[in-house]
Amino acid sequence: MAERKLLDVLDGKTISPPPIWMMRQAGRYLPEYREMRKRAGSFLDLCYNPDFAVEVTLQPIRRFGFDAAILFSDILVIPHALGRDLRFEEGAGPLMTPLRADEIGNLDIGTVHSHLQPVYETVHRLRRDLPAETALIGFCGAPWTVATYMIAGRGTPDQAPARLFGHRHPEAFASLLEILAAASADYLIRQIEEGADVVQIFDSWSGVLDQATFENWCVRPVAEIVRRVRQKYPDVPIIGFPKGAGWFYREYRQKTGVTGLGLDWTVPLDAARELQAGGAVQGNLDPTRLIAGGRALSEGIENILGGLGSGPLIFNLGHGITPETPIEHVEAMIRQVREGK
């Protein structure tokens, strides 16, 4: 097998220059993606049609030669597979019918694999079509983050509806998180079976939780996913990305069992170096520096490489790339990371 640098870093090795990929690298900043999105008709059709999903996953690999491709899908395919309605509206993002406490017992985990069969086919075809040296990343949303959308029916500024739900209906909420952890673990296992080299768990809303709820709603469900995946595939690396976790990053890797730690852009580099002592870290360029380009971009890259380049590092953004990002800035970033200029 050709050397996949991303896997070497997750194994604890220091590689210079570090491997690089971007969260949301297959997306709206690319004209070829926008064309494919138009042809697909809807965002869900883009996710569930393997022809489209394979193509948009490969687009940034062809254009930029990233060291990893990440499956093109969405974190909310899991509740959709559990029988909840889901639609995406321009300007409004994902919309669902808010989940009531008395409906949680009706969620059927038995429907997950048949519903997600097109996604598994996409993963299988991607591993076949990707360059041998390019790692393939599968992913899921963390139970807490997925639950926030199921309960509110949409994204909200601080996910207060889900936090209130958890406080008012603790048993029902614990049951929901258990269901989501089991379904997500099965989903990741099937992605690995189809060819994913590594999987990432996105907890995009972990930063709105206090200490007790972070432990119960963020750490414990992710630890359960990791336990289930490791039972079947003990050697497949798992990246955890608890965006906004701040102080709670310190023990997240140890408590959840993830291999690599995805860092958002607010994590100071001295704190990131301490976290790196426990294993690979990923990140953490502010996406607005990539939009701005020029000195802001080059200084941001320089600081990360200078601060974290002497340990196991996967260079990435501190969250996903945004649609207004100029392509030439992405090219400049890759050039600087790989060539030092």
Kindly report the average pLDDT of the chain as a whole number.
96
Query: 212 in helix, strand or coil?
Result: helix
Q: What digits encode the pLDDT tens for the residues 266-307?
A: 999 999 999 999 999 999 999 999 999 999 999 999 999 999
Give mean pLDDT, residues 328-334: 98
The CATH architecture to which 5-339 belongs is Alpha-Beta Barrel (3.20)
For the stretch 67-109, pLDDT in tens is 999 999 999 999 999 999 999 987 778 999 999 999 999 998 8
Q: Which long-range contacts (CB under 8 A, 24 or more apart) does 108-114 make?
A: 108/82, 108/83, 109/82, 109/179, 109/182, 109/183, 109/186, 111/81, 111/82, 111/83, 112/78, 112/81, 112/82, 112/183, 112/186, 112/187, 113/186, 113/190
Residue 198 and residue 6 in contact, taking contact as beta carbons nearer than 8 Å: yes
* SS3 call for 261: strand
Separation in Å, CA 339 to CA 5, 306, 333: 16, 14, 10
Q: Looking at residue 91, what is its pLDDT?
A: 75
The residues assigned a catalytic role are: 24, 28, 37, 74, 149
